[in-house]
Amino acid sequence: MARPLGARRRHARLTVGTALAALVVLAAAPAFAHDDSAKSTKKKKTTSTTVHDMSKMKGMDHSASATKATKAKRGMVVIDGALTGDSPCELSGPPASVGQVKKDAEGHDHRGPLQQYPMTRAEREQLIEQQRQARGVADKYPTVASAEADGYKKSTPYVPCIGAHYTKISLVSKFDPAAPSELLYDGTNPDSKIVGLSYLIMNKGGAPEGFAGPNDQWHQHNSNGGLCLNSQAVVIGNESTTKKECEARGGRKAQLDDIWMVHDWVVPGWECGWGIFAGECPELGGRVGGTVWDKPDPKAFAKATGAKKASSSKKSAKQSDSKKKKSSN
């Protein structure tokens, strides 16, 4: 028997809320932030411009909107060889989501600066206006207290590289540069400062049209059946969790096909060195549950610096072998 209209509407709102909660909690789950199976690749800075097609990478679905042919054709790519291991984000540990460190066929992860593509004059002028509106949001909500006063609610603690998320579910139904559904802060205290914006949108049939130009690559967390959620819609396993593992934890896998997201690092002083629409911002260090100003978690820091040393040793060994080969010739 069909449910009454009011019940169907309540169910729709619950579905959006559940999907939203699932995605934002994923980014903050400490269990994922320091997963031993996810080893971040640390490399010395080079001038290499090799790029990798992230739409073919496992762990996250980065396919572009069908309404933007250019984005669909190029997919999301990162510049290889640009990571130094020294940024506050890298020193805080691996990405919060295991999906963010899955490797492609060549063994590269996709943390780092995004490849930027040319824009037409019309696209650039439209983006300038859109970002003017976005910066206005940052001016309107400079602190956590100001966001909460207007209905934004904390949906994650502070997480290195992406900030603390404050969400307004009523804004997830459409893309509007002047009305992001999420605001990102450098902590969760009332006086914590805004560092970025996030657009989490429910959109059927592909990613939203989004910002002007080809560089805002929207993504999802849907591979391998999606996230593992418990009865409170809290993420208890990421995309790599199997159905059997999820059920053993008392959860269920959730495929959130119509939920799309993109960050916008437009706040003055916190412009992201990896790109204005990058998934992570290298300037945001700190520790999970703390603030951007805290020292990294000792275990995460040790893991990050250890990976950097290992990478440096491997590089030195390769250079030594190369010199030996040249001298023998």
pLDDT, tens only, 26-69: 433 433 333 333 333 333 333 333 343 433 333 333 333 333 55
The rounded percent of the chain whose pLDDT value lies above 90 is 42
Whole-structure pTM value: 0.70
3-state secondary structure of 38: coil
The predicted-structure confidence for 157-183, as pLDDT tens digits, reads as follows: 898 999 999 999 999 999 999 999 999
Q: How far apart are CA 215 and CA 207, in angstroms?
A: 13
Tell me, yes or no, whether 5 lies in a domain: no
- Tell me the β-bridge partners of 21: none
The answer as to whether 7 is a domain residue is: no
**Is the pLDDT at 189 greater than 80, yes or no?**
yes
Average pLDDT, the chain: 75
- Report if residue 1 sits inside a domain: no
Q: Is residue 327 part of a domain?
A: no
Domain for residue 142, yes or no?
yes
* Residue 329 lies inside a defined structural domain of this protein: no
Instruction: Look up the domain containing 284 and give its range.
Output: 15-310
- Number of domains within the chain: 1
Tokens matching residue 188: 């969760």
**Domain assignment of residue 323, yes or no:** no
Which DSSP helix (H) or strand (E) runs through 220?
none
Q: Does a structural domain hold residue 321?
A: no
Tens-place pLDDT, residues 126-146 = 999 999 999 999 999 999 999
Mean pLDDT of 246-268: 91
| Overall average pLDDT of the 82-90 stretch | 88
Q: CA-CA distance, 33 to 221, in Å (whole number)?
A: 16
Q: Is it the case that residue 119 has pLDDT exceeding 60?
A: yes
